[in-house]
């Protein structure tokens, strides 16, 4: 195997693929990165058996030559050293060679590295997903769907299914839902092709976080395909494969109250800043609890009280307020996560009682919903 590649192209492919490589894997060869050279270009592969990522560098694209002097072949190289070497090479091009004993030579400028590689035929084959049931979505929209839900997945392995985001198609909409049973985040988008049939699946939050880091926000096309236990996100030069979690996701729609006793509109940034200040003293407490109390003239009082530390109180004026007065306590962390995910200047909060879940939405958008369970304070 031999090729000469543009160093910058190689660096960005290596960085993407490294997101799937773990040193803590039961299959030793998976601690390495697989490199395949063909006449069409170079494919790098990394996998930790939960996530697999393939990144492709075409030999030529848009009149630009990325890879030249290709002699086809493949090798698995030590991922612990290879990325650092590539990043620190002195020249803009890199020549990589491997002999039949899997010895690899990396040359750039006057620097030469020799690395011991492994036989690529021992690297596990990635499943090829070819289903007719493909969904196409823009990368910037997919990033939003992930960003506005994934933070609410559970970090506890006691209920593994809650560590993932539920993805399904319902009533002509694509829905992403995440909950850790104390809060819920939901985002939907309408689909143009209503005939698509996507089974309800649960994708690990960890996989979606890594995918989110790799996708660009220029709005390139992402093709999504699902088989019984894998989901593939495919862009022009990248295949991102993740396992799907086993089990049935809880029916979350019944958690969402359909009527409210109190409704208030507020400026998102003002509420974020106030709750953030109130939480400064709540940090020592287990739940970072902050209390919201409504008062006359649309005044909201945000308070926090930590017996060992002290207390804080601040008032803001709601844009509008209807219904019964409310006195409710909640986790400031959950509230801040929800408000930051909403991405709208004004929000509406609907309460149905001091111990009932309340919902937060952008003022003029039903496609985003955040739900939080209050905290009982004695």
What percentage of the chain reaches a pLDDT higher than 70? Answer: 97
Q: What average pLDDT does the chain have?
A: 92
Write the pLDDT tens digit of every residue in 343-364: 899 999 999 988 899 999 999 8
Q: Are 97 and 105 in contact (CB under 8 A)?
A: yes
Cα separation, 291 vs 299, in Å, equals: 14
Most confident region among 66-80, 123-137, 184-198 by mean pLDDT: 66-80
Interatomic CA distance for residues 78 and 219, integer angstroms: 33
pLDDT in tens, 48-90: 989 999 999 999 999 999 999 999 999 999 999 999 999 999 9
Query: What is each CA distance from 235 to 72, 139, 198, 211, 263, in whole angstroms?
Result: 24, 9, 19, 11, 42
Distance CA 242, CA 210 (A): 10
Per the CB < 8 A criterion, the answer to whether 323 and 261 are in contact is yes
Collect all residues with Cβ–Cβ distance below 8 Å to 371 and sequence separation of at least 6.
183, 184, 185, 186, 255, 256, 357, 358, 359, 360
| Residue 126 DSSP class | P
Q: Which two tokens stand for residue 292?
A: 């919201």
For residue range 308-351, what is the model confidence (pLDDT) as tens digits?
Answer: 888 999 999 999 999 999 999 999 999 999 999 998 999 999 99
Higher per-residue confidence, 190 vs 283 = 190
Burial class (CB in 10 A: 0-12, 13-18, 19+), 161: middle
Residues 244, 203: Cα–Cα separation, whole Å: 5
From the CB of residue 218, how many other CB atoms can be counted at a distance below 10 Å? 8
In the chain, the domains with their CATH numbers are 2-122 (3.10.150.10), 136-243 (3.10.150.10), 256-372 (3.70.10.10)
């Amino acid at each position: 195997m031999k090729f000469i590649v543009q160093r910058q192209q190689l660096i960005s492919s290596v960085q993407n693929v490294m997101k799937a490589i773990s040193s803590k894997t039961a299959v030793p060869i998976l601690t390495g990165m697989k490199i395949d050279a063909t006449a069409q270009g170079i494919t790098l592969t990394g996998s930790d058996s939960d996530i697999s990522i393939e990144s492709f560098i075409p030999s030529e694209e848009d009149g630009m030559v990325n890879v030249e002097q290709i002699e086809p072949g493949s090798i698995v190289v030590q991922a612990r050293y290879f990325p650092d070497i590539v990043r620190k090479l002195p020249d803009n091009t890199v020549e990589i060679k491997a002999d039949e004993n899997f010895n690899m030579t990396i040359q750039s400028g006057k620097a030469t590295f020799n690395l011991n590689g492994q036989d690529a035929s021992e690297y596990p084959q990635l499943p090829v997903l070819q289903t007719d049931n493909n969904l196409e979505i823009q990368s910037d929209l997919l990033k939003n769907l992930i960003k506005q839900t994934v933070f609410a997945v559970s970090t506890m392995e006691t209920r593994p299914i809650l560590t993932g985001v539920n993805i399904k198609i319902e009533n002509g909409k694509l829905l992403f839902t995440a909950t850790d049973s104390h809060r819920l985040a939901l985002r939907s988008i309408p689909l143009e092709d209503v005939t698509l049939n996507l089974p309800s699946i649960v994708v690990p939050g960890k996989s979606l976080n890594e995918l989110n880091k790799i996708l660009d926000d220029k709005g390139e096309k992402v093709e999504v395909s699902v088989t019984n236990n894998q989901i593939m996100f495919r862009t022009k030069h990248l295949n991102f494969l993740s396992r799907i979690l086993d089990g049935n996701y809880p029916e979350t729609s019944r958690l969402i109250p359909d009527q409210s006793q109190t409704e208030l509109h507020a400026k998102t940034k003002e509420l974020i800043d106030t709750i953030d200040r109130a939480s400064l003293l709540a940090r020592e407490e287990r739940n970072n609890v902050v209390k919201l109390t409504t008062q006359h003239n649309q005044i909201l009082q945000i308070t926090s009280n930590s017996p060992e530390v002290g207390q804080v109180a601040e008032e803001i004026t709601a844009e509008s307020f209807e219904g019964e007065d409310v006195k409710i306590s909640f986790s400031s962390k959950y509230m801040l996560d929800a408000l930051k995910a909403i991405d709208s200047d004004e929000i509406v909060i609907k309460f149905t009682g001091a111990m009932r879940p309340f919902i937060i939405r952008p003022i003029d958008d039903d496609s985003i919903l955040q739900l939080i369970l209050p905290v009982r304070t004695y």
